[in-house]
């Protein structure tokens, strides 16, 4: 039986499950690209948070589509570092336990987790 492989750009469960906090230097300003300031709120000191990711029903403001069906990130090339770092090995079939926690919250089946 072949293992289920999912690209991290397909399901969107993580975008609707976790808080996304990042350094304010990742915000767009002037000619410097980055996270649009309107999509973030000040968290504390130099830390910003993607709007919607700290709600009781978490969902990043940049997430478009239906989780588990068809999604996209409206700022994918400009997404903050936590989003860039999450699931970096998914392209080779190695998924994080956090991915499965997020998928479970949305009724999606677990993916194989690499045992380190």
In terms of Cα–Cα distance, which of 64, 40, 66, 36 is closest to 53?
40
75's tokens: 């700022």
Residue 6, domain member (yes or no): no
* Block residue for tokens 């996270």: 35
What predicted TM-score, i.e. pTM, was given to this entire model? 0.85
| Alpha-carbon distances of 86 from 2, 29, 67, 100, rounded to whole Å | 24, 24, 17, 12
pLDDT score at 7: 67
Residue 36, domain member (yes or no): yes
Residues 68 and 13 sit within 8 Å (Cβ to Cβ): yes
Residue 112, domain member (yes or no): no
pLDDT score at 6: 60
Total number of domains constituting the chain: 1
Residue 88, domain member (yes or no): yes
Residue 3, domain member (yes or no): no
Domain with 54, as residue range(s), is 14-105
Residues 12 and 102 sit within 8 Å (Cβ to Cβ): no
Residue 64, domain member (yes or no): yes
Residue 114, domain member (yes or no): no
> pLDDT by residue for the chain (116 residues), tens digit each?
445 556 677 889 999 999 999 999 999 999 999 999 999 999 999 999 999 999 989 999 999 999 999 999 999 999 999 999 887 777 676 677 888 899 999 999 988 776 43
Contacts of residues 75-80 at CB distance under 8 Å and 24 or more positions apart, as own/partner, are 75/35, 75/36, 75/39, 76/9, 77/33, 78/28, 78/33, 78/34, 78/35, 78/36, 79/35, 80/20, 80/22, 80/26, 80/35, 80/48, 80/50
Residue 70, domain member (yes or no): yes
């Amino acid at each position: 039986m072949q293992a289920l492989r999912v690209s991290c750009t397909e399901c969107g469960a993580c975008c609707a499950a976790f808080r996304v906090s990042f350094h304010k230097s990742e915000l767009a300003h002037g000619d410097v690209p980055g996270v649009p300031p309107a999509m973030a709120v000040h968290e504390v000191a130099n830390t910003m948070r993607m709007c919607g990711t700290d709600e009781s029903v978490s969902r990043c403001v940049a997430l478009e589509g239906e989780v588990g069906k068809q999604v996209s990130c409206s700022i994918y090339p400009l997404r903050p570092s936590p989003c860039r770092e999450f699931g970096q090995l998914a392209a080779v079939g190695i998924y994080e336990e956090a991915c499965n926690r997020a998928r479970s919250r949305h009724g999606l089946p677990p993916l194989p987790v690499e045992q380190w």
